[in-house]
Structure formats: C-alpha cells, structure tokens
Amino acid sequence: MYDSIVIGCGFAGAVVARELAEKKKRVLIIDSRSHIGGNCYDRKDEYGILIHQYGPHIFHTNSERVYRYLSRFTEWYPFRHEVVGKIGEKELPIPFNLNTLEMVYGERAPELEKKLISSFGEGARVPILELMNHPDDELQEIAQYVYENIFLKYTMKQWGKSPKEIDPAVSGRVPVLLSRDNRYFQDRFQGIPLHGYTEIFQKMLDHDGIDIRLNCQGTDVLSLDPEGDVKVWFEGNPFHGDVIFTGALDEFFGCRYGRLPYRSLDFHFEHYEKPFYQSHAVVNYTVSEEFTRITEFKYLSGQLDMEDTTIVKEYPKAYSGSEGEIPYYAINNPENDALFEKYKALVVQIPGFYLLGRLAEYKYYNIDAIVERALDLAERV
C-alpha cells in the first residue's frame, strides 16, 4: 500500500517524505526513536527552556533554495552565532580572525595582519593545516599558536586524534578568517527556527500522504530477499516501491563486514538558578576540560528574559553500538571509507534503494547540505 518507505526521520528523511507525498506518493516514514526530528529534535525542558536534546544546531546556508524551502515550515529567530574559546581567563573569538589576532598579539598585530593579507588576501578563509605549511616564520608562529590553543586539545577530545591525523576537511570547517567578522558562520542566511526545530518536522510531516511509525527499526519492517534476489521485502512481502534509507548502513546489514567507526557524544545537562551562565551561546574549551563545549540554550531560543538557565556540556567518545548510544559523526579516512563502500555495494544493486544523509552516506554534512540533497533526490525518485 505504500509507494515509498523512508527510514529515518531527521532532515534527510523528512524532506524526502514531504516531497514524495506532494508528488502523490503514499509514504511511510519510520524512526527507531520515540520522536521525530532526528538529532535536530528540540523540546522544552522541565523549566520551560527550549533545549536541543542532541547538541546545538544552528542553521546556516548560502543556498536560497534551501532557505526558502525551510521557510515554508518556519519563521526564523535571527540569531547571530558567535563562539569564543575559553583559554584561561581569556575568551577569544573563534574562528581565529583579525580581532583574535589583535587580542593575542597586541602591538605586533597590524604588521602580522598585513603579512597575512598579502599572503592570502583580505577575507580569506585559511585552513589551519595550510597556514602551518607557510614558509614565513612569523606566519608559522601564528599558525602554531592557533594550532595549540584552538585546535589541538579540542580535536583530541572530539576525535581522539590530533588535527594532523584526521581528515583535513574537518579542521578546515573552522578556518583562520582574515576579516573582523566574529560570526562562526559567514553564510548569507542563518537563524534558529522561531518555535524550534521539532515544529518544522511536525509541519513537514503533517500531510495526508505520510504515515509515521516511531520506535521502529529499519530491520523491523524491511528485509532483503531471502532467495538472494536483490529485492527488498516489506513486512514479509516483496516491495517494489522506493526505499530512502538514512540510517547507519552497517547496522542495517548486521555489521557483517565489521562496524563502521563513528564518534559519539555524552550530553550533560545542567540547570542554574541565575539569568546567565556564560557570555555566549557556545563557549569552546580549547585547552582545558574533558568536555569540548558548553551551550547555553536561552541564547539560541531567544528566551533571554528568563530568570534561570539550562546548559549542556558535550563529552565526546567512541561509538560502540551499545543500546542507547548514538553515532553522530562519521570518521572519514581511507580505511573507513573503503569499508563504507563495501556496504554501499550491497545496496547499489537494489533498484529503488537510495542512501541519504550523514549516516547513510557516511559523511559530515551540515543541515543545509542534507536538505539540498534531499530535495534533489526527491526530484530523481
């Protein structure tokens, strides 16, 4: 009775489900959790503060198409996201930019600024690993400072490895920025959904053509053809429609080639009977502590008049696959990517079986990239 089955109810799955339903398909979307929204799920805590249950999600994009699409389902709280790194008593703007340079180098800053700009150009976004390779001694000195004070310890916590040992694209997400823009993202459009992310999902999935099933694993409803033909079965019968799979592919196949490595996180929420806990929505602990960052939610939700506050500390860890643990980040390197390709080979032969999203594609996507890919996929299906 369904034309399409969507596994996973985060942005990837929800956008595809909506788009297919609008094309008159009958869609079933399932999720293993008890709620919609995937890792973007947010809710009011017992104190009435809107928290992001799975860590801070700040929407930003240069894509007008994505911004317009999501704006069908929400208005925006125009949040200006600035992050500081807590280094001793100092709070330095991150990404490291020309303001940070001035705070660190004082009188030497104007000369250093000239040198940086003549090497890379005004407004350039320079990956730290690239700056470290610059032949000039003074630029190397800056690079070393940034590496040691912004990247090394944070990355060791987050990934269990140094920035030099992980995919360079990861540290490249937070470049050295040759401007005085203290924002974390420079994208054209940015903000937080005015009434939260969960409401976007409620609206997106509120369509006659969509059925939602929660607390349901992909393997509860889907199985591969027992005869070995490359067909998918839905609840015990051959299924000829489309399957859009956004979950962890290794787990769908019982980890038959071994587990795909992911990083996970423990979130420790704390509530304080005072108006504010810290100076910014997100403070990164780049040289100390076991957690990577603290998020104070009232900045994100705009609940600035409340007299108390809720924060969350993020403690990274390896993903082991045990009950209740969540795989947040793919660990892209040649070995893991090759393992992923082995799993992918199991499904590329299945007609109408599509992989989409951070987990299913084993990639580090932002929300906007996922939405864009979901829109493209829905056009192709």
Instruction: Please report, as ranges, the residues that interact with ligand UDP according to CB under 6 A.
Output: 85, 94, 150-151, 154-155, 158-159, 170-171, 173-174, 284, 286
Would you say 111 or 148 has its CB closer to ligand UDP? 148
Would you say 2 or 154 has its CB closer to ligand UDP? 154
Least distance from ligand UDP to the Cβ atom of residue 365, Å: 10
Is the CB of residue 361 less than 8 Å from the CB of residue 251? no
Would you say 95 or 247 has its CB closer to ligand UDP? 95
DSSP secondary structure code for residue 229 in this structure: -
Identity (one letter) of the amino acid at 223?
Answer: S
Least distance from ligand UDP to the Cβ atom of residue 83, Å: 7
How many other CB atoms are there within 10 angstroms of residue 132's CB atom? 17
Would you say 74 or 171 has its CB closer to ligand UDP? 171
Closest CA to 56 of 311, 343, 288: 311
CA–CA dist 17, 26 (Å, integer): 9
CA–CA dist 336, 344 (Å, integer): 12
Would you say 246 or 284 has its CB closer to ligand UDP? 284
CA–CA dist 369, 118 (Å, integer): 32
Three-class SS of residue 283?
A: strand
Identity (one letter) of the amino acid at 107?
Answer: E
Least distance from ligand UDP to the Cβ atom of residue 170, Å: 5
Least distance from ligand UDP to the Cβ atom of residue 275, Å: 26
Least distance from ligand UDP to the Cβ atom of residue 166, Å: 7
Which pairing describes strands 59-61 and 76-77: parallel, antiparallel, or unpaired?
A: unpaired
